[in-house]
A and B are shown apart, each in its own frame.
With several copies, the nearest count.
Chain A
Amino acid sequence: MNKILFFAHLKDEVGEENIRIDVAGRTVAEVKELLAAEYNLQKLDSAMTAINEEFASNEDVIEAGDEVAFIPPVSGG
């Protein structure tokens, strides 16, 4: 099982700060695609991803128990 955390507007779009779902064995890119479809998330593909509070790339594979967080980059200033 994995815990998935959503930051900023993603939290509102999902309706929760975090969800539990089993995505072990999948890549970050695959999980992004799956969640974007499930929750109708916009621009999840450009979000940064942390696995266990460490930066992860789209190719990284998620393991059982990993905590995954999605953080959208912003440009305002």
Chain B
Amino acid sequence: MYERYSRQMLFAPIGKNGQEKLRAKHVLMIGAGALGSSNGEILTRAGVGKLTIVDRDYVEASNLQRQQLYTEEDVLQKLPKAVAAERRLRAINSDVELCAVVGDATPEMLDELVKGVDLILDATDNFETRMALNDIAHKYQIPWIYGACVGSFGMSFTIIPGKTPCLNCLLKSLPVQGMTCDTVGIIAPTVQMVVAHQTAEALKILVEDWEALRHSFVSFDLWRNQYSSMKMSRAKDESCLSCGSERTYPYLSRENLMKSEVLCGRDTVQIRPSKEGEVDLNELAAHLSSIHYEVKGNPYLLSIEMEANRIVIFKDGRALIHGTKNLAQARSIYQRLLG
């Protein structure tokens, strides 16, 4: 029965003991895009006990270049990613209990899904969800592993509540983003290198080899041939509202959430960013033009066409996503453009 895991059990830090531990663990993975595909496949092949996969999107042709669980057939069927992922993973390892959730990883949903979970794997594509995930992880004392990439550049950091600094210690606030996979592209090797770091750490946590954990923040650029390993002990901030002594878990509260609503009687969703602050429309227009969007606009707003949708972005960061009534789809489009 364990024949399929024989090469993993031969690896001394895992062994038969570690394999049994792995089999008793439950991992929650947020996102089933590029990072999610590969993270999910590695943990499923490794024989984790249970894997819960949350994703709000469906499979599109432009995913196939790097999202390893999906095929051309999934695109034709427009399958939700969580569903397509579950199908493929089941064919790979029928021993693993798989749970696919098609939906948005809101704080409410995270609060529900996190029960009994041993590890949260970050495979999301935006900082808003990651900050909520970071708060949830600290509320329930669950380790999580940050991973992110764009272009040929990627990074990862292992966060153990009560031990390491947290994502909010590092970033202090939601960074103003410029680069996303939808604006500067992404190559598959970058995804795999982030996932290599995430899954190595995941295996250490799941087999409880705490001494082997990586304490540094890794970042690398495969095209520019860069690799950096930054020591993080000084990053812990005692006044941090997510992990410090007086916590409020700010990213779980409604006020910090990106607000989206279907506009009364129109085929349009309005998105309001979670934090205040102006968008530099000239800079954004120049950037979107450079990646071949036709940008129209005036000093107060920009407008672009994107597949079936028209998107209008205002200086205050608000956007109208025309051509949809689906909140999750609209938020996804917004985050793809504005991070």
- Asked if the two chains touch in their complex, CB atoms less than 8 Å apart, one says yes
Cβ 8 A contact of B181, one of A5, A57, A73, A76: A76
Q: Are B339 and A53 in contact (CB under 8 A)?
A: no
Which residues of B approach A to under 8 Å, CB–CB? 31, 33-36, 122-127, 130, 147-151, 153-155, 165, 170-171, 175-181, 184, 186, 217, 219, 221, 224, 226, 228-235, 264, 283, 339
A contact residues around B177 at 8 Å (CB): 74-75
12 A-B residue pairs with Cβ-Cβ distance under 8 Å, sorted by A, are A7-B224, A7-B228, A11-B224, A43-B176, A71-B230, A73-B170, A73-B171, A75-B126, A75-B130, A75-B175, A77-B124, A77-B147
Complex Cα spacing A69 to B219, Å: 11
Q: With contacts A7-B219, A73-B171, A77-B123 known, is A53 near B176, CB below 8 A? A: no
B234 touches A42 (CB 8 A): no
Report B10 CB to chain A, min CB distance, Å: 11
Other than A7-B219, A48-B170, A53-B231, give 7 A-B pairs with Cβ distance below 8 A: A7-B224, A8-B221, A11-B226, A54-B234, A55-B233, A75-B264, A75-B339
Q: Which residue of A lies closest to B147 (CB)?
A: A77
**Is A50 part of the contact surface with B, judged by Cβ < 8 Å?**
yes
Looking at the complex, which one of B124, B228, B234 makes contact with A56 (CB distance below 8 Å)? B234
| A26 is an interface residue with CB less than 8 A from chain B | no
| Alpha-carbon distance A72/B181, docked complex (angstroms) | 15
Which 3 A-B residue pairs are closest in the complex by CB-CB distance? A76-B150, A8-B153, A46-B175
Instruction: Give Cα A76–Cα B195 distance, bound, in whole angstroms.
Output: 13
Type the 1/0 row for A32-66, where 1 means its CB is closer than 8 Å to any CB of B. Answer: 00000000001100101010011111000000000
B179 touches A53 (CB 8 A): no
**Residue contact A7 to B175, C-beta cutoff 8 Å:** no
Q: Is A77's CB under 8 angstroms from B230's CB?
A: no
